[in-house]
Amino acid sequence: MSSDSVFEREDFNDILEHWQNQKPGRWHFEGASGVRHLEQLVSDLGYDQGIEEFLADNSGAMQAIVEWITEWADRGTEWKENLAKACNYEGIDDDEEDEYDYEEGVEELLIFARTLNPNPEQKRIIDQIQAELDANDAENEWNKHNWEHQAIAQLKEIIKQRQEEIDAPETSL
């Protein structure tokens, strides 16, 4: 039996805890000594070039770091302001037009859904969406935008159902 097969059955956390217990002093990942501990761990994992080699080889680790940064930045650190300054971010202008015209998207999906010869229930939903679109005088842009997303989702579902029905082989009785 090779040593590899023995370690396959072991939980990595158990091995990591044993590794940490072999190190002198209090073990932690805080401050400058924490960085040195992380460098030692990465080296002992087989990355002799250190943390840079580890990160280059493990994009998921980089993504986890970015997610952690995002979580902490949203908790009120100066990171958000610093990053905004670094990229000349001025905020989102609510007056800017969306890149995608959702109302036009609803209209296009309505046209396409009608060409698929919808069943009576699907036709009722399509007609209801059309009536709401024609009368859509939402009190604010958020309500309108939310309605458009819901209408698009409903129409996509009808189109998907109809295409599945059309593509399904007919069964004879």
Phi, psi for residue 48 in degrees, rounded to 5: -65, -25
CB-based contact 116:71 (threshold 8 Å): no
Query: 77 vs 13, which has greater pLDDT?
Result: 13
Core vs surface per residue 132-141: b (16+ CB within 10 A) or e: eeeeeeeeee
CB count in 10 Å sphere of residue 50: 13
Mean pLDDT of 8-37: 83
The confidence score (pLDDT) of residue 89 equals: 81
The confidence score (pLDDT) of residue 105 equals: 82
Report the chain's mean pLDDT, rounded to a whole number. 81
User: Could you read off the pLDDT of 69-105 as tens digits, one per residue?
Assistant: 888 887 777 888 888 888 888 776 555 544 567 778 8
> Who contacts 54 (Cβ-Cβ below 8 Å, separation ≥6)?
42, 45, 47, 61
CB-based contact 132:147 (threshold 8 Å): yes
What end-to-end distance do the CA atoms of the chain give, in Å? Answer: 60
User: Could you read off the pLDDT of 37-56 as tens digits, one per residue?
Assistant: 889 899 999 999 999 999 99
Q: Is the pLDDT of residue 24 over 80?
A: no
CB-based contact 106:133 (threshold 8 Å): yes
The confidence score (pLDDT) of residue 1 equals: 43
The confidence score (pLDDT) of residue 46 equals: 94
User: Could you read off the pLDDT of 121-143 as tens digits, one per residue?
Assistant: 989 988 988 888 887 665 556 56
Domain extent listing, the chain: 9-73, 102-166
The confidence score (pLDDT) of residue 149 equals: 81
Q: What type of residue is 34?
A: G
d(CA 27, CA 18): 12
CB count in 10 Å sphere of residue 127: 13
Q: Which long-range contacts (CB under 8 A, 24 or more apart) does 106-109 make?
A: 106/133, 106/148, 106/151, 106/152, 106/155, 107/133, 109/151, 109/152, 109/155, 109/156, 109/159
Mean pLDDT of 60-72: 87
The confidence score (pLDDT) of residue 145 equals: 72
Q: Is the pLDDT of residue 114 over 80?
A: yes
